[in-house]
Each structure stands twice: as structure tokens, then as C-alpha cells.
Structure 1
Amino acid sequence: MEKIEPSGDVDRPPAPNNEARLSSTSSGRSASLSSSDNDEISSQAEVETTVPGHELDVELGELRGAGELEKIGTRESARSKIYRIISTASGRSKGGLRQEPIPVSDLDAGIVGWDSQDDPAYPINFPAWKKWVLLGLVSLVTLTTPFASSILSPAISSVSEEFHNTSETVGAMTVSIYLVGYVIGPLFMAPLSEIYGRRLVLASANIFFCIWQIGCALAPNMASLIIFRLLCGIGGAGCLTLGGGVIADLFRTDQRGFAMGFWTLGPLFGPVIGPLIGGFVVETIGWRWDFWIVLILGGVIVVTLEIFNRETNHRILIQRKVVRLRKELGREDLRSCYDTGEAPSKLEILIHGLVRPLKLLALSPLVFFLSLYVAFVYGVLYLLFTTIPTLFESVYGFSVGLTGLVYLALGLGNFLGWLVITLWSDKSVVRLAQSNGGKFQPEMRLAISIFFGFFLPVTFFWYGWCAYYKVHWIASILSLIPFGFGIMGIFLPIMTYLVDCYPVFAASAIAANTVLRSLVGAFLPLAGPSMYETLGLGWGNSLLGFICVAMIPLPVIFYRFGGQLRASQKFKL
């Protein structure tokens, strides 16, 4: 069987790659690993999850050679084009289907893997309905915890009044400190999911998140509220850390863009919905009920996860199979096909996992600069959350509840951006793959984000000067729509790009992004009051707009040179 080379320089798990092994697997006999394959297994770095990469590259190349891409109707949607390609390929005989094989069992050699290439226990082979149920559960949590991050925004003045706080910075910290938890949590949860599995870590994080909602609701002073909010953020980071890994576990490269689009609705819509509901809560039943509402919602999710969620981490699933077969067969020599042969301790795995996201940020320019772009955009989003109540209540005379409705403009922009991404992102990828000789490259994900980058600065110039000159409130509200639209087109393609670049280390790549994003999101809003006091709303927001303009070239640079940077990376993850 011809060996398929990946289109990008991506770390991969040990996998069998000779025709004899595939043939023996399909006939129901135990497959045997060659000595070269054993060497390959022993030399691989420890992995978080395993996915066959770049099937879109392979299939586009085959179909293009056969002239089939030219037959795709122009009236079809981008997604139907991709599925037509995949369906056409899937309809061929197994002998003609060129896919990267997965590691299978060879009990004679003491190696435990998947039963066959079509093993139903392999998460990528799950039925579509099961994949979307599992992703839906993670997405539900991912909506809830960002929702909790911003629900307190309209209540800052009420909280400060009750606790006799006169500092705007301390008041803003009750909201932004939550994001510091997003910095701490991912560093531990990514490696813990490698030791104990994604299901257990996600459930435990959500329980931790719920417990500290009680502390927030009963907080006796400002200091305790800030500490409890920090702890809530640590628990809330679980879904943001593990979501990308779950997607890499369940979906192939050609399916991953739409799945990421579904999952990232939470981090973008959650912070927008939070103030909308929080405004009416604080106005009617008091700010403490913000936390009781989140606790009720989180409790329902805890029960739902316990009933319906399943483990998806490939490595954990095979390790459990090893334990079971050792007992059943009485063979202590059996080992996982993903083992490196070193058998590191749990502490070593934890330390290595803690370092990996930081290593990606420090040594990978594409991870650092693209994460910095997302971090800045995320930071100014939370800066807007802290300034909107002040502007619309003091300048335009809105009530607290009515101010919450202002955030609908951001939500509308988010929805429009998500709609465009859904309809055009995959279409763009297919077109670029055709022009690249039928080969998919992760950088193709960034093409559409170049367009969206121009919308971000529009909001700050529009919003800032409308506020400065006290233009009619409708103008200030409408000015938020371009930002909501633009952030969707920045956030989603970049997150998908990172998963495509590091599919084996998807959780660490997302953790690296989350750490930097949350760090900036936590502290940038704290600089807002002094910045606006010095520069005013007009020039203060214009400064943010100029920074957004300066960052527009980043996706262009990595779209052009990202492949070369990935190829030149020498560090080991």
C-alpha cells in the first residue's frame, strides 16, 4: 500500500502503515507490527489525542486527478461540496480508499490498539448523531461558563454601593478576575485530561465551578467576592480547555471547521447573553441572584454530563482496554499502541502537560502572535462590557435593565459573523485547495479572517466619537455590530487553524490560546478607567481602533508564511 504523506508538518501518533497489517486486520486475525513500526512507536512523543489528519488533502487530490472536482455544481453550498467529495470517496471499495491507517492490535507482539480500521469504539468512527450529542454537551458547558463571566457586568455599581467601594478599578475586577481563572485552569486541566480522561476532568471542573457560585452569592464583602469569582473561573476553564481536544477526538480535518464553529458559539455568545440577563436580574431581584441562576443552570449540566457524556480521548480508551485485557488474558506484558516505552509517572505527565502550552507560546511564532491577536480582541470585548453600563446609564439615562439590551447589538453582530463563516469558510477552503493542486493546508483557514479583521476598528472609531459627542443612543448601539461581526471571523478561523496545526496536541494548543487570551481579557479592562480619564472616550477608543488596524496584517503574514514556519519548528512537544 502506498504511504500517504501528510500535507503539513504535524506531529502524529504511532500508527501501522503496511498493507499486510491492514489485510490481516480485515480478515479478522490479529495484525502484526513490523520492527520498524515498533521503532516508530517507541520514538513518538507522548500525545493527548490521535486523529487521522488531512483526509481532505488526500481526497481532493484523488478527485481532482479524476476530474471530479470540476463536476461539482456551482449552486451547491460549500458544505454540500465537501460532503459530496467525502461521500464519493467513501463509496469506493476499501481497496481504493486511501486513508491514513489507525494503530491496531497485535497481541502476539504485546500491543493493544483498535480492533480494525472500522472499529466502532474509535471516536472518529462514532455515528454522526453520537458525535454531535457529545459535542453539544461540551458546547452547552462552553456557553454557560462565559455567560457566568459577564453576567455581573451590569451590577458593578450595585455591588460597589452595597460594599461601600469607591474604586472603579476594584469594581471592574469583580468581572475581570474571573478570566484570571481561565489563565490558571487550562494549565492543569489539559494534562489531567491526559491522565484521567476528558469526561472526568470536565465533570469535576463543572462541579468545582458550581460550588463557588454559592460562595459568590453569599459573599460578605468585596474581597471575598473577588476570590470566589477567581475560583469560579478556574472551574469554568474546563470546557474551554478540553473542547478543542474533544473536536480533534471526534472529527476529521474536513469536518472540523463546522464543528469548531458550533463549539465557539459559547465563548462568543455567552459573554453577550450574560449582561442581557444580568441587567434585568439586578434590577428586579438583586445581583446575588446572578449566581443562584448560574448555579441552577450549572447543576442541571452536571447531571446531564453524568448521564450522557462519554470518554473520547483515544489514548485513555486504549489504556482502559489494556487494563481489561491484562486481567482477562493474564498477560502483564500488554501495552498501549500509544505508549512511548518510557512509562512516565503521573507527576511527569502533569509537569510535561503544564509546560507544553507555555512552550507553544514561547517557541511557536504562529501560536504566540495569532493568540495575541485573539487575546487583544477578547480583552477589548470585556473592556466594552465594563464601559457600556457607565456610558448608557450616565450619558443616555438608561436603566440597568435597559442597558442590558444594548448587548443585543454585539449578539446580532456575532450571529451575522457566524452565519457568514458557516456559509463561506468551507467553500473558501475547497477553492483554495483546488488552486493548490488539490492539497489542503491549515493556513487556508486564515484566508477568511483577513476580511473580518477590517470590521474591528470600525466599532471603536464609531462608538468612541458617538459617545464623546453624545450622538443619539441608537448610533452608539449600532456601532457595536461591526465588532460582534468581526470578532467571530477572527476567533473561529484562528482556533480551527491551531487545532489543524497541532491535532495531536489540540488541547495544549487551545490551552495556550486560552491562557494568553484570558490574561489580556482579565487585565486590559482594568486599564480602561484610567485610559478613558486621560484620553476621553473619543481618543481612548480611537487608540484601540488603531491597534486593531495594526493587527490586520497578522493573518496575512501567517497565511503566506505559516507553512514554512511549521516546517522549520525543531522543538519537541
Structure 2
Amino acid sequence: MSMMSTDTTERGSVNTSIREKDSANGEESERDVEAGVNNHETSADERDPDVVDWDGPDDPENPLNWSDKKKWLNIAILSIMTLVTPLGSSMFAPGIPGIMVEFHETSTTIATFLVSVYILGFAFGPLLIAPMSEIFGRRPLYVYGNVLFVIFSVGAALSTSIGMLMAFRLLMGLAGSVPITIGSGSIADLMPIEKRGRAMSAWALGPLLGPCVGPIAGGYLIEAAGWRWVYWLIVILGGAFIPLSFFFLRETFGPVLLSNKVKRLRKETGNQNLRSKLSGRLTPKDQFKLAIVRPMKLLLLTPIVTLMSLYVAITYGILYLLITTFSFVYTENYGFGEGDSGLTYLPAGIGMMIGVVGFGQLTDYMVRKNKEKGLAHKPEIRISPMLTVPCGITLPIGLFIYGWTANFGVHWIVPMLGVLIFAAGLMGVMSCVQNYLLDTYIQYAASVTAAMTVLRSLMGALLPLGGLDMYNALGLGWGNSLLGFIALGLIPIPVIFFIFGERIRKRFNPSL
């Protein structure tokens, strides 16, 4: 019973699949354990009547063929989940001074680490979550990860010591990293390449916007009801998504969907030899062993992932350094209260909204234009200097404005304008880089996102630890100028890959 069809999507340009010997005829074939529907099979499988594939290119079970309504419902749920979990990272930041008093702690390093320990969970969670998604699919991880996130949030709300609060914040970060790690994989499952940038931008907004808008509500909530109510609010928000994700979020991972189809057909036909085209012949244990090291192999052995992830990680770390010091800067320099200090995060949120509306659409537009001209898609179009250079330049400009105007006590709206400019550029950089890496390693979407998230989250957790000490030593002007010069030095990275990316991909092509 043959159910073979041609591929409906384009495979990434890097040959990183698992090679096996076909036991039937001794031919070597390729089996990609993470690629979803994005893989090419050999003619050996195409002749095999026991191999189950999609029922043609228009199979309604294939997530790429779902209705727009169904696709965007899933993307909307994922995007909001990806917004809620980062809220926990900084929503209580305006209340840190009060928390330090309650727990009789005076160390500024401890104060900063209270915020950044959450991001350590984002750093280490993806190393386990990405391979698990390849074995169990995406949906179970979303559902159970959200349940654990709510449970750990309750623990944080009930904390009786600063150590207990840190421990539960770390666990919240681990559980909350699920949508951040595999959300891009779900979008790759759902969206064709010329529409992916818009969806990716909506999803990518969460990890950046959450830490910025959280303290706005958190500042007033802490002032009115105390810092513990920040966590009770997160429990309420996260709890609302438990039934939503259970009833409305659908599985999108191709190998899991075809595996379910195989099980159904085995029952219907009695043919126990049926197997999925995408499952390969590796056991789940072997698949997990291969997959668990893949993010680190991508991060360490492929210059594209290494340097582009480093670019995003450093700029993300700068964002978190700013976030963790806003309350100190504006309370000491401008006399803001706990509630008012939450408003200092608003410009970053507005800047990111500007970035997500503009740059995600622009990358899709450029892809569509190339397609209309009959040109083959190359991932490098996502990092065109027309996009990355202007975005990159806005980062240091924003930092210079923020640092020097705050240093000289210029009206508070001017340093906030600098933060807005920085945030808009950061969102543009993130959008370009994430879409580029996803297009380049589309068959390993979860793993490449995990690789980027590990480095980004480590930088987001560790860089802020020296923020207050840096400002004390250099002042706000030169301290932020130092960050600006670092951001300025990173601008050539995407330009280099735009020019030489294809050559580099061919040269550095490790077995994954």
C-alpha cells in the first residue's frame, strides 16, 4: 500500500541528515529525525509499499496545508505563551529593593542575580527540551511544561527565604523555556518560507517584550499588593493557558503525525510492517542520544550558528543589563517610586513593537520578490546589509543617548527615547538572525533555536551581574558607551555571512 508523495517544502542548504543502510537493498538512504516534512528520500523508499507518507502535496493532515485560521490560532497561543513565561524574569524587578529589605540582604550582586537566575533556566532547559521534542513531539512539552511552570510559580509566591525564591525562579525558567526553545520549530512546521518571517517575528517578540512590559504592571502591583502578587498573577495567566493549550494547541511535528498515521493504518490494515517515511530506523533511545548533542555541535562546529548566536547573545545581555538596572538608575537619578519605575520599561516595549512590525515583514517581502523573479531562495537574503546594518547602527546610537543624557540628568524622556531606539534595532537584529538560522538549518529548527537560546540566556543571566559595578566605576555615560562600542563592533558579522555565507556553509558541514 503505497502512500508516497513528493516533498511540499524546501530542504535547507546544509546536508545534515543521518545516513543509514537500507536493509532491503543495501542502498544508503537519508533519514532525518528532526526535519518534519522537510526531507528528501531516496528512490528505495519510494518503491517500498510499506512506507507511509503524506497523501500527496495537498494532504490536509500536513500542517503546511492547514487553514490560515488553524495555523494562526496555534501561532497566537504559542506567541502568548512565549510572552507569559519571560514575564516572570523581570516582572518583580521594581520590587527588588523591598525584597532585599524583607530578607535582610544587602549584596547588589544577589539583587541582580535574583533577576538573572531565571534566565539560567532558559539557558539549560533547551539542551533537554529540544531532543525531547524530537521523540515525543511538540504539543506534550507545551502542555506539561506549562503545568510545571504554574506549579513552580506557586512555590516562588510562597517563598520564605531568598534562597528558596532563587531556586523556584530557576525552576520557573527551566519549565518556561519550552515555548522559547521549540516555538520556532512549530512555526517552521506550519508556515512556508515566504510567510515565515512575519510569524517568527510575532513569536520572537515574547522573549524580548515580556521582560520589558512585565515591570510596568509589576511596579504598580508591587506598590499596591506586594511582590508576592507578581507570582500569583503569573499563576493566573499561566493557569489560563493549561486548558487553552490542551484543547486548542495541535501537534505540528511531521514525524510524530506520520507515526500516529502509521499506528492507525496498522490497526486498519493489519500490516505490521508499515513504517513512517520520516521516522528512520533508529530507536527512540538512539535518536535522543543523537539529538541531545546536536545543539552544542551546531553551536561549536558551525561558524554561522556560533557567531550569529554570539551577536544575538551579547545584544540580549545588554538588554538584560539595562532591565536589571533601570529601577536603580531612575530611582536614584530621577526620584521615581516603585510604581513609576515600572514605566521606565515601556520605551523598550514600544521599540520592540516597532521592530517586529517592520523587520519581519521586510524579510518576507524580500523573499517573495526573489521568488517572483524566479530566483532560488538563499538564506542570506534574510541578513541583507539593507536590513542588518541600519538595525545594528541603532543599537550603539540608542545606548549613547541613554547613557549620556542620564549621566547629565537630562529630562527623563530623553534617555527613555535612547532605550526605544536601542530596542527597535535589537528586534530588527533578532528578526533577521533568527530567520536566517531557521532558513539555513530548517530541518533542525528546534536544535538551532536551542543552540541560540543557550548562549543568549547565559549572556542574559551573567552580563547583568556586573552592571551596577560597571556604572559605579565608569558612570552612566562611559558605561553605556562601552556597551555601545561593543555593539558597534558586532555590525560586520551578518555582513560577512551575507557575502560568504554560502561558501562557509559548504565548508563547515558537520554530521549532525
Aligned pair 1:443/2:383, yes or no?
A: no
Distance in 2 between the 1:497 and 1:411 partners? 24
Amino acid at match of 2:378: Q
Q: Give the stretch that moved more between structures: 381-390 or 468-477.
A: 468-477
Aligned pair 1:276/2:213, yes or no?
A: no
2:287 maps to which residue?
349
Instruction: State the 1:421 CA deviation.
Output: 1.4
Pick aligned residue for 1:504 from 433, 443, 446: 443
1:457 maps to which residue?
396
2:14 maps to which residue?
10
2:33 maps to which residue?
46
Deviations along 1:489-509, one digit per CA (max 9) or x if unpaired, are: 011111111110011100101
1:85 maps to which residue?
none
Task: Classify 1:429/1:483 alpha carbon distance in 2 versus 1 (closer, same or farther; 3 Å).
Answer: same
2:348 maps to which residue?
410
Task: Classify 1:307/1:7 alpha carbon distance in 2 versus 1 (closer, same or farther; 3 Å).
Answer: closer
2:327 maps to which residue?
389
2:280 maps to which residue?
340
Instruction: State the 1:45 CA deviation.
Output: 4.0
1:379 maps to which residue?
317
Q: Give the stretch that moved more between structures: 509-518 or 426-435.
A: 426-435
Task: Classify 1:172/1:292 alpha carbon distance in 2 versus 1 (closer, same or farther; 3 Å).
Answer: same
Q: Is contact 1:48-1:507 (8 Å) kept? A: no
Instruction: State the 1:467 CA deviation.
Output: 2.0
Amino acid at match of 2:316: Y
Amino acid at match of 1:325: L
Task: Classify 1:337/1:104 alpha carbon distance in 2 versus 1 (closer, same or farther; 3 Å).
Answer: farther
Instruction: State the 1:566 CA deviation.
Output: 1.2
Instruction: State the 1:12 CA deviation.
Output: 7.8
Instruction: State the 1:512 CA deviation.
Output: 0.5
1:312 maps to which residue?
252
Instruction: State the 1:409 CA deviation.
Output: 1.0
Deviations along 1:479-527, one digit per CA (max 9) or x if unpaired, are: 2111111011011111111110011100101110001000100000011
Amino acid at match of 1:408: L
Instruction: State the 1:533 CA deviation.
Output: 2.1
Deviations along 1:399-437, one digit per CA (max 9) or x if unpaired, are: 1111111111111211222222145333333456678x6
Q: Give the stretch that moved more between structures: 233-242 or 322-331.
A: 322-331
How well do the aligned residues superpose, as a CA RMSD in angstroms? 2.6
Instruction: State the 1:388 CA deviation.
Output: 0.8
Instruction: State the 1:43 CA deviation.
Output: 3.1
1:486 maps to which residue?
425
**Which blocks of at least 5 consecutive residues in structure 1 are unaligned?**
15-32, 53-99
Distance in 2 between the 1:299 and 1:567 partners? 46
Instruction: State the 1:104 CA deviation.
Output: 13
Name which one, 1 or 2, has greater alpha-carbon Rg: 1
1:265 maps to which residue?
205
Task: Classify 1:335/1:230 alpha carbon distance in 2 versus 1 (closer, same or farther; 3 Å).
Answer: same
1:420 maps to which residue?
358
Amino acid at match of 2:456: R
Q: Give the stretch that moved more between structures: 409-418 or 358-367.
A: 409-418
Amino acid at match of 2:33: E
Q: Is contact 2:351-2:423 (8 Å) kept? A: yes
TM-score, normalised to structure 2, is 0.92
Distance in 2 between the 1:364 and 1:144 partners? 32
Pick aligned residue for 1:249 from 184, 189, 195: 189
Matches within 5 A, 1:217-256: 217-256=157-196
Q: Is contact 1:111-1:336 (8 Å) kept? A: yes
Alignment: residue pair count:
502
Q: Is contact 1:272-1:407 (8 Å) kept? A: yes
Q: Give the stretch that moved more between structures: 474-483 or 426-435.
A: 426-435
1:168 maps to which residue?
108
Distance in 2 between the 1:115 and 1:8 partners? 23
Matches within 5 A, 1:468-483: 468-483=407-422
Q: Give the stretch that moved more between structures: 248-257 or 229-238.
A: 248-257
Instruction: State the 1:2 CA deviation.
Output: 12
Matches within 5 A, 1:33-72: 39=27, 42-51=29-38
Instruction: State the 1:329 CA deviation.
Output: 2.3
Instruction: State the 1:563 CA deviation.
Output: 1.1
* DSSP-derived class of the 1:505 partner: helix
Instruction: State the 1:473 CA deviation.
Output: 1.5
Amino acid at match of 1:367: V
Task: Classify 1:107/1:309 alpha carbon distance in 2 versus 1 (closer, same or farther; 3 Å).
Answer: farther
Amino acid at match of 2:431: L
Instruction: State the 1:185 CA deviation.
Output: 1.0
Amino acid at match of 1:446: I
* DSSP-derived class of the 1:43 partner: strand
Q: Is contact 2:194-2:368 (8 Å) kept? A: no
* DSSP-derived class of the 1:504 partner: helix
Task: Classify 1:224/1:138 alpha carbon distance in 2 versus 1 (closer, same or farther; 3 Å).
Answer: same
TM-score, normalised to structure 1, is 0.83
1:69 maps to which residue?
none
Amino acid at match of 2:459: V
Distance in 2 between the 1:48 and 1:103 partners? 18
Q: Is contact 1:214-1:295 (8 Å) kept? A: yes
Q: Is contact 1:51-1:248 (8 Å) kept? A: no
* DSSP-derived class of the 2:271 partner: coil
Q: Is contact 2:348-2:420 (8 Å) kept? A: yes
